[in-house]
Structure 1
Amino acid sequence: MDHTLTIGDTRFFVRTEGKGSPLLLVHGFPLDHHMWDAVIPQLAAKHLVIAPDLRGFGKSEGHVEIAPMELLADDLASLLNALEVTAPITFCGLSMGGYIGWQMWRRHSDRLARLIQLDTRAAADSEVQARARGVNAEHVLANGMSEVPQAMLPKLLSEKTIENQPQVADSLRDIILRQDPRAAAAAQRGMAQRPDVTNWLPEISLPTLVLCGSDDGISPPAEMQAFAKRIPGAQFLEIPNAGHMVPMEDPNATVEAILEFSSRAN
């Protein structure tokens, strides 16, 4: 079911499907809820799947100059309230969605039952990376999204996916191209100022799954495994032959990992 929810002066789009314990799927940058299309039907067999478009992305409104991860986490808590979801959720975020996941734990831990972090990082941007995000923000505001897929697809997908699953690359390209440059710029600026959360990790007592594509060059397996080891009892799992977009590159393995974890971590 598709919902358009008005929260304050902002309208948000959310897709829900299925019944059961709530599973919140939070998309990466610069994408929308459609990045989860290949996994939602199978996950909805066991869960109430909640897949929103973050502020400014997809069909959601609410453009701001800077979109801090804290703001996006607060938006999600408000969305859960608007949907009258009171049961603790399994939070599942990819990349930027993972950055938001850390803030959900910090700011709204009472809403969480489990944490699933896909292809993301605990470290903050370096000074060089943060500056590059600022440059990229200005570029998309001036030139739109047309050049973004060419720059990002080789980083987001493994070479095997690009070669063997051209439909995945085409779908990802289409999702990127339809995003509003204002949302992309705001999110870049917000990610650039996000904190290093490494010191938070030992405090996380939630059942946690850290999932990574073996060919992910943005958040490499070694880096993700290292931060997973700092979370008490966290499970680390590597998906072979996938890059940064495991739910699109290998949806079956992603679904299997999520369902196995959520059924076991009760």
Structure 2
Amino acid sequence: MARMTELPLVLLHAFPLDARMWNAVREPLASHLRVITPDQRGLGRSPLPESDREPSLEDAARDVLALLDRLELDRVVLGGCSMGGYLAMAVLRLAPERVGGLVLIDTKATPDTPEAAQSRLDVAKRVDDEGVHGWLADANLPNLLADSTREERPDVVGNVREIIESQPPAGISWTALALRTRPDSLDLLRESGVPALVVVGEEDPITPLAAANEMVEALDGATLVVLPGAGHLTPLEDPAGVVEAILSWYPATHEK
């Protein structure tokens, strides 16, 4: 039975995926907590609003706040994997009073390096020119999944490939451009004062253990969980480990 006194958990997905990446953890978590897994703007089933503004995670964060308003949720525990973690920090920056806790999965608090920012520009241009089919999944899979996952678990590889190849090109392009301008969030985490869980795959090449430790050091009293044999997409590679980490951590301080 769900413990209704606890704050709901909102989980924000990674790039270039959508909320289906949470499928394996959603039901086990939902038997204990209220779980909300939205698609982010331009990805999955979420439309990309027409706008003349430069792509920015701040606008995506406002989408999350608008969702909380529609659901009449004053405060939530906000979680995210990779880009979802960046977006969770963007929400925390805009409206700290709405965030009762953080679950940061395979993510980091530092901004893009110049090389990474250029790579995102290149991705946006290629998607605009060619779409996503035939290259985007192949370009991302080696970094998203651990070697053992790619070699021994074709079901996970196929699932990730299917999700990536179904994304709207315009949403991929917008998001890539938004990610490259995100600010450093380490000071934000230092000042947040909220309970936090940091989860990282032991074989994550994109946001490795060093990046997780950096966030743990910035957060007061954060819990760190390292999942062996997993890469950058722990909710897909080790869903049981992610569920156990979240449920073991979810503290009484989240009660309304």
Count residues with an aligned counterpart.
248
Residue 192 of structure 1: aligned partner: 180
Checking the alignment, whether the CA contact within 8 Å between 1:19 and 1:49 is kept in structure 2 is no
**Is 2:117 aligned against 1:130?**
yes
Checking the alignment, whether the CA contact within 8 Å between 1:89 and 1:111 is kept in structure 2 is yes
1:67 deviates by 3.2
Residue 221 of structure 1: aligned partner: 209
Instruction: Output one character per residue of 1:157-199: Cα deviation in whole Å (capped at 9) or x when no partner.
Output: 0011112221011000000000011111111110111111122
- Mapped partners of 1:216, 1:23: distance in 2: 24
Residue 81 of structure 2: aligned partner: 94
Query: 1:198-237, aligned counterparts within 5 Å?
Result: 198-237=186-225
SS at match of 1:52: coil
**Is 2:248 aligned against 1:250?**
no
Identity of aligned residues (%): 36
Checking the alignment, whether the CA contact within 8 Å between 2:107 and 2:211 is kept in structure 1 is no
Aligned partner letter, 1:139: R
Residue 149 of structure 1: aligned partner: 137
Unpaired runs of at least 5, structure 2: none
1:107 deviates by 0.9
1:19 deviates by 7.3
- Mapped partners of 1:218, 1:62: distance in 2: 26
1:234 deviates by 1.0
SS at match of 2:167: coil
CA RMSD across the alignment? 1.5
Deviates more, 1:199-208 or 1:185-194: 199-208
User: TM-score, normalised to structure 1's length?
Assistant: 0.89
1:90 deviates by 1.0
Aligned partner letter, 2:15: F
- Mapped partners of 2:13, 2:173: distance in 1: 16
**Is 2:10 aligned against 1:27?**
no
Residue 48 of structure 2: aligned partner: 62
Q: 98, 103, 113: which is aligned to 2:100?
A: 113
SS at match of 1:39: helix
Checking the alignment, whether the CA contact within 8 Å between 1:243 and 1:249 is kept in structure 2 is yes
Checking the alignment, whether the CA contact within 8 Å between 2:96 and 2:192 is kept in structure 1 is no
Instruction: Output one character per residue of 1:44-73: Cα deviation in whole Å (capped at 9) or x when no partner.
Output: 011111111111111111245743111111
Unpaired runs of at least 5, structure 1: 1-17
Residue 12 of structure 1: aligned partner: none
Residue 5 of structure 1: aligned partner: none
Residue 6 of structure 1: aligned partner: none
**Is 2:240 aligned against 1:239?**
no
1:85 deviates by 2.3
Residue 103 of structure 1: aligned partner: 90
Deviates more, 1:42-51 or 1:56-65: 56-65
Q: 147, 151, 156: which is aligned to 1:163?
A: 151
Aligned partner letter, 2:9: L
Aligned partner letter, 2:92: W
Q: 70, 83, 101: which is aligned to 1:82?
A: 70
Checking the alignment, whether the CA contact within 8 Å between 2:15 and 2:82 is kept in structure 1 is yes
Structure with a larger share of its residues in strand: 1
